[in-house]
Structures are given as structure tokens and as C-alpha cells.
């Protein structure tokens, strides 16, 4: 059975993330210990809330460098919502430096007439890396669920795996580069499309385990 470590840093609904991964066929282990992350086949970093407290909670658990090491090791890594944003260098929401795994800044939506902030509810993805394993067996423009007031702005636009339009603003909805993947939306709240994305992540991890065992 595929073992996926879900990082516990008091910044998210871990139950929902675990339930979605388990429905997709994985065994989950909620943890804030680096050794557990090392033993797992993959790691998920969920998150709901503000940027600075998230970084502070990770620092208090001595997890900042271990997370960087896990990503550098090539192990599949999936960030969700705030777990995407803290991968970046910093955020207009706060003052703490981010993990710095993705060059770029997290920015607040620009106010414009009729624009609701936070961006909350269902929106359609425009897949900019359609060949990505996470997107397999999805519709061309799947509907997924968002709750956020800030969006990630990578320096290298090729890291965008999907974008969405909110008002007149087109912004990052997901990023991917090698083993590092992250979604601004909540796959665990995104009905059948979200479950397919989590299933695709689990399948990717299973394939990696099989190859490593050969």
C-alpha cells in the first residue's frame, strides 16, 4: 500500500486531505516528524489560513529545511492551497520569507469593479501543462473549488500547470516542475475532478515505487 505523509503544522483540515487520498487508494500518516517524511513514499503539504503563521509553525517544528530536502530528493510532493503559497519566496500577505522552492511572490488580487475577494467557489481550470500526470482523465476545462485572497506569481511562467480567470485577472491555479506539484484549489473539495486528481497523484507515486523496486 502506498504510504503518503501529510504534514501537520496546525494550518489546515488534515482530515479532508487524508480522506481524499485514502479514497484514492493510499495509506496516510499525519505527522510533523522529519523521519516519517523520509520513510513515506510521497509527502502532502495542505494548508488553510495566513502565510506568516504557516511559516512560523513550520519553523517551530524544525520542518523548513527538511521540506526543502524532501523536495530536493525527488520524492513526489503535493502542496494544497496555502501549501502551494508557502513554497514561494514570500507573500504580500505577510513579512516572513517563504520556503523559496519556487522563485516568485504570492500577490493579492487587484481590486476591480465587481470582483469578489476572496475568490471563493467553483472555477474552471485552463490546463497549461495538459500532459501532466495530475490531469489525466480530466475534462479539458475541469471545475474545481477555490478559497483564497492571494495567488502565486512564479517568475518562470512555464511552472504554471493550470491557470484560472477571476474578473479580468488570469492567475496561477497550479504549478508543477519535476516531482514538485501544488494546487491553489482544494482537490479534496472538488468532487469527482478533485478525486481524479488525487487518484492520479497516488498512481504517480505507486509507479515511482514500482520502478524503484525493480
Per-residue pLDDT at 133 = 97
Task: Give the tens place of pLDDT for each residue, 101-127.
Answer: 999 999 999 999 999 999 999 999 999
d(CA 143, CA 193): 7
**Closest CA relative to residue 179, chosen from 91, 87, 65:** 87
Q: How many residues does the chain have?
A: 214
Per-residue pLDDT at 13 = 76
Which grid cell is 180? Answer: 514538485
Active site residue 93: no
Cis peptide before 194 (omega within 30 of 0): no
- Strands 150-154, 102-108: pairing kind: antiparallel
- Is the model's pLDDT at 25 over the cut of 80? yes
Which grid cell is 15? Answer: 482530515
d(CA 94, CA 128): 29
Those residues with Cβ within 8 angstroms of residue 3's Cβ, 6 or more apart along the chain or in another chain: 26, 27, 28, 29, 39, 40, 41, 42
- Is the model's pLDDT at 12 over the cut of 90? no
Task: Give the tens place of pLDDT for each residue, 132-143.
Answer: 999 999 999 999
pTM of the full structure: 0.96
Q: What percent of the chain has pLDDT over 70?
A: 100
Which grid cell is 137? Answer: 482523465
> Any idea what the CATH number is for the domain that residue 87 is in?
3.40.50.880
Q: Which of 119, 148, 166, 186 is catalytic?
A: 186
Backbone φ, ψ for residue 208 (5° rounding): -65, -40
- Is the model's pLDDT at 214 over the cut of 80? no
Per-residue pLDDT at 1 = 76
**Closest CA relative to residue 172, chosen from 156, 150, 193, 151:** 151
Active site residue 18: no
Average pLDDT of every residue of the chain: 96
> What is the radius of gyration, based on Cα positions, of the chain?
16
Active site residue 81: yes
Number of domains the chain is built from: 1
Q: Which of 18, 81, 119, 166 is catalytic?
A: 81
d(CA 146, CA 35): 32
Per-residue pLDDT at 15 = 86
Q: Which of 18, 148, 166, 188 is catalytic?
A: 188
- Where in the sequence is the domain holding 52, given as residue range(s)? 3-213
Per-residue pLDDT at 89 = 98
Those residues with Cβ within 8 angstroms of residue 83's Cβ, 6 or more apart along the chain or in another chain: 7, 12, 44, 45, 46, 47, 182
- Is the model's pLDDT at 180 over the cut of 90? yes
Amino acid at each position: 500500500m502506498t504510504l503518503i505523509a501529510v504534514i501537520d503544522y496546525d494550518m489546515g483540515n488534515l482530515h479532508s486531505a487524508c480522506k481524499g487520498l485514502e479514497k484514492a487508494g493510499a495509506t496516510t500518516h499525519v505527522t510533523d516528524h522529519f523521519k516519517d517524511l523520509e520513510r513515506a513514499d510521497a509527502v502532502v503539504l495542505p494548508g488553510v489560513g495566513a502565510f506568516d503563521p504557516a511559516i512560523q509553525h513550520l519553523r517551530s517544528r524544525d520542518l523548513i529545511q527538511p521540506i526543502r530536502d524532501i523536495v530536493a530528493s525527488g520524492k513526489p510532493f503535493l502542496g494544497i492551497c496555502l501549501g502551494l503559497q508557502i513554497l514561494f519566496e514570500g507573500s504580500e500577505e505577510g513579512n516572513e520569507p517563504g520556503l523559496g522552492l519556487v522563485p516568485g511572490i504570492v500577490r493579492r488580487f487587484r481590486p476591480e469593479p465587481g470582483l469578489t475577494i476572496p475568490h471563493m467557489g467553483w472555477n474552471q481550470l485552463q490546463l497549461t501543462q495538459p500532459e501532466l500526470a495530475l490531469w489525466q482523465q480530466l475534462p479539458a476545462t475541469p471545475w474545481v473549488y477555490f478559497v483564497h485572497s492571494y495567488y502565486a506569481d512564479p517568475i518562470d511562467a512555464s511552472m504554471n500547470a493550470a491557470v484560472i480567470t477571476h474578473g479580468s485577472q488570469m492567475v496561477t491555479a497550479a504549478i508543477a516542475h519535476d516531482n514538485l506539484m501544488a494546487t491553489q484549489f482544494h482537490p479534496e473539495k472538488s468532487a469527482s475532478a478533485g478525486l481524479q486528481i488525487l487518484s492520479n497523484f497516488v498512481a504517480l507515486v505507486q509507479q515511482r515505487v514500482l520502478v524503484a523496486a525493480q
